[in-house]
Amino acid sequence: MSAVQRQATLPEAGAAEPEVLMRVVNRVAILTLNRPAALNALSHGMVRQLAALLEQCRHDDGIVALVLRGAGQKGFCAGGDVRSLYQLAQQGRMDGDDGWLQFFIDEYRLDYALHQFPKPIVALMDGITMGGGMGLGQAARLRVVTERTKMAMPETRIGFLPDVGATRFLSVMSPELELYVGLTGVTLTGADALHCHLADVCVPAEWLASFEERLQRMPHDGDLMQALRRVFEPPCNVVPHAPLAQATPWVLRYFDRRSSVDRIVATLRESLEREQAREPRQWLQATLDAMTSHSPTMLHVTREALLRGRQLSLAECFQMELGIVARGIQDGDFCEGVRAHLVDKDHRPGWAPATLPQVRPERVRHFLTSPWRTQAHPLAGLG
């Protein structure tokens, strides 16, 4: 099939526009997440479409690389379609159906396939890039962010854990920084992402607006990754200051990997009572607020999962995460967290248990124990 034939066709009058668009420019496939009104949040249909297009590109010798981007000006991808998953989970609790599980199985298989893809992938993580968007973007060989990037793994806020491979890809940071980012769900700027090794280049957003013109002129007679980098990074690139750099000494002090979640919170509280300087107080207060308002159970579980993930392969991390996700939806805080923050929006989740000290070690172990025997695991084929 020629490049011209592979161009995405316009939908017929009255037809809904596809949620994933694909076109080929100079032998590079551009895949666009196309739900701008929902900040390109991933529906199950989008996951399946992306997986099918990925396989098409894998076997097409006329395609040498991929670019992942989001439609609109606000975000690359805000994550999975959590409201739809909430509705499926609520229905499943009533009728015993676990239809929601297939979304995560398919999403994790897609993310794993992206990590293992034999052709270079470029992810344009411009704007909001969270949750499932990170699962896509962190699989790329060239991860591009901008001054508009707002990057986070905020899952503990809704009674979940950083998943989509986060227990592996967050391990590029020090354990302390990984725990801080994973437990608090702090939002990172593009410069922060570069500082944390969650991005490869930080460029002005306006530079990306014209990348297709440069892509059209990209040569194919040399190093492909160098050629792609020249397309997406300006010749004279000035990276903005990373706000996280200033907070790093505090992160290293309070998020020691040997400290329990309870101890982290206690130390933050003690320091806040003594601290007089404005900026440290602001950081301490914001961090303490996150650690005392997010799901107590999932804070404990997330800490253990992140530390375990540093010793596991990518496939093993996906398998561990799927087990925790299944526990979290079946008998954890996920439904209550989504209800409080995204459905009813009363922002008063009734966590069970309600406080960090009430979370028993056996409950944490329960979440970290796979619901499936090894060979029966839905992701047993990964790796």
Q: Over its length of 383 residues, how does the chain's per-residue pLDDT go in tens digits?
A: 333 334 443 444 445 789 999 999 999 999 999 999 999 999 999 999 999 999 999 999 999 999 999 999 999 999 999 999 999 888 876 665 677 999 999 999 999 999 999 999 999 999 999 999 999 999 999 999 999 999 999 999 999 999 999 999 999 999 999 999 999 999 999 999 999 999 999 999 999 999 999 999 999 999 999 999 999 999 999 988 999 999 999 999 999 999 999 999 999 999 999 999 999 999 999 999 999 999 999 999 999 999 999 999 999 999 999 999 999 999 999 999 999 999 999 999 999 999 999 999 999 999 999 999 878 999 999 97
pTM: 0.94
The torsion defined by the Cα of 254, 260, 263 and 269, in degrees rounded to 10, comes to 60
Domains 1-152+190-241 and 244-383 share a fold: yes
27 in the Ramachandran plot: left (φ > 0), alpha (ψ -120 to 50) or beta? left
The pair phi, psi for residue 24, each rounded to 5°, is -115, 125
Q: What is the DSSP string of 332-373?
A: SSHHHHHIIIIIS-------SS-SGGG--HHHHHHHHS-SS-
Architecture of domain 244-383: Alpha-Beta Complex (3.90)
Owner of token pair 């999403």: 107
Distance separating alpha carbons of residues 178 and 184, to the nearest angstrom: 10
Q: What is the DSSP string of 79-116?
A: -B-HHHHHHHHHHHHHH---THHHHHHHHHHHHHHHHT
266 in the Ramachandran plot: left (φ > 0), alpha (ψ -120 to 50) or beta? alpha
Per-domain boundaries in the chain: 1-152+190-241, 244-383
The pLDDT value recorded for residue 93 is 67
Is 165 in a helix, a strand, or coil?
Answer: coil
Distances (CA, A) of 146 to 74, 206, 312: 12, 9, 31
**Residue among 138, 148, 152, 151 at smallest CA distance from 208:** 148
CB within 8 Å of 49: residues ≥ 6 apart? 18, 19, 20
The pLDDT value recorded for residue 94 is 63
Task: Give, rounded to a whole angstrom, the gap between the first and last alpha carbons of the chain.
Answer: 31
**Residue among 136, 137, 134 at smallest CA distance from 185:** 134
CATH superfamily of 1-152+190-241: 2-enoyl-CoA Hydratase; Chain A, domain 1 (3.90.226.10)
CA 352 and chain centroid, separation: 25
The pLDDT value recorded for residue 1 is 37
